[in-house]
Structure 1
Amino acid sequence: MAIDVRPAGRFEDVKAMVGPKRPDANVCWCLSYRIPSKQHLELHGTERGEMMKQLVAQDPPPGVLAYDGDEVVGWAAVHPRADTSFARNRKIPHVDDLDVWSVWCIRVRPGHRGSGISHHLLQGAVDFARSYGAPAIEGYPVDNQGHKVDLTMAYVGTRALFEGAGFTKAADTDSVINGFPRVLMRLNLR
């Protein structure tokens, strides 16, 4: 399997990865960390999809997509931390004042999980941030110490996934997902 990771420039492919089956369903669309909480809560039904469509049209787009041939099989949200809710999040500390990028959501399509696509997505997110001049990139995965993470909460990734991509633990956080503490993992890009 040759996985190709590219910037998320096609809305239909982003929709296939993070959109709902019903267009009017109130799902995240991977916007909960990307836009201010108040704005996120005000969006309903198709408005979230429209917001994502606008973000996909921007430079940089809101993330990267993984493809197996022509089929989209994965998504990773990655963007400058300053333009995310992590800039103001009290539970996730700031290590320093660098204009770091954040990667906060990694999703692999059912039927393709367990084949290493999340590793390709994380590397693609790193390469994407580097191509925009990011000095460093951070992630906020769970430190599950090898225990199983509920699939609905696995989107943040695991410490082991980030360590495998060369990230190191930079700080503890006050955030917990699925009973596991989240850690701030960082990779310097310069």
Structure 2
Amino acid sequence: MATDDYSIQPLTAQTWNAFAAMVERHNGIFGGCWCTYFHDQSLERGPGYDGSRALKQRLVEGGVAHAALVMLGDEAIAWAEFGTPDELPNIHHRKQYLAEVDVLPDYRVTCIFVDKRYRKHGYAKVALDGALAMIAARGGGVVEGYPHEVGEQRMNNSFVYNGTRAMYEQAGFAFVRAKGLKNTVMRRTVQPA
């Protein structure tokens, strides 16, 4: 399980280097994405890994990319990306999602990642809880997450980019509906801090 010597810090220009070091240790995350997939795809970016890196850094420095970083000392070991639907409009199965939407959330949690050296110790849940605390500090509201239904078969980590349904249930989210194959829409209200 997660140790008590971690801290939660927001992704900012001041924590960029720790975030970047973790992403670089994992070859840009999910094929060089740099956790930019969920941002507006019309934003100007250069090609490949370097283009995604530069875009993410611009978004962080501009205050429109948010994440809760789990830190062990000065090293980032996990994160949970969150933002408003305007900041993170691009979600998997978007067409189905929009056709079935009943409530547009105030915030979304779109990506959770844990350094491969620290997996299976509860840090994904720590990152999710950190994101929810940061959302509470921003005034709270309706929060959606899109975790996966993993079932009994083990799924590759690249397919569990937003955690599992069980983890979200532990964090107080309620199942709303299925989305695509093995994806869900889950929701909870976060009270202001």
Fold agreement, TM-score > 0.5 = yes
How many residue pairs match? The answer is 181
Q: Counterparts of 2:158 and 2:61 in 1: how far apart (Å)?
A: 28
1:95 to 98, 102, 114: 102
Matched, 1:139 2:145: yes
Q: Structure 1 residues 108 and 40 mapped into 2: Cα distance closer, same or farther (>3 Å)?
A: farther
Q: 1:149 — aligned with what?
A: 155
Q: Counterparts of 1:101 and 1:51 in 2: how far apart (Å)?
A: 21
Structure 1, unpaired ranges of 5+: none
Q: Structure 1 residues 96 and 153 mapped into 2: Cα distance closer, same or farther (>3 Å)?
A: same
Q: Secondary structure at the match of 1:32?
A: coil
% identity of equivalent residues: 22
Query: How far 1:88 sits from its partner (Å)?
Result: 9.3
Q: 1:124 — aligned with what?
A: 130
Q: Counterparts of 2:169 and 2:176 in 1: how far apart (Å)?
A: 12
The 5-angstrom pairing of residues 60-75 of structure 1 reads: 61-75=65-79
Whether contact under 8 Å (2:34, 2:49) holds in the other structure is no
Matched, 1:53 2:57: yes
Q: Structure 1 residues 88 and 107 mapped into 2: Cα distance closer, same or farther (>3 Å)?
A: closer
* TM-score, normalised relative to structure 1: 0.83
Q: Secondary structure at the match of 2:148?
A: coil
Query: How far 1:162 sits from its partner (Å)?
Result: 0.5
Matched, 1:27 2:32: yes
Q: Structure 1 residues 155 and 21 mapped into 2: Cα distance closer, same or farther (>3 Å)?
A: closer
Q: Secondary structure at the match of 1:155?
A: coil
Q: Secondary structure at the match of 1:126?
A: helix
Whether contact under 8 Å (1:103, 1:138) holds in the other structure is yes
Whether contact under 8 Å (2:45, 2:51) holds in the other structure is no
AA matched with 2:129: Q
Whether contact under 8 Å (1:95, 1:171) holds in the other structure is no
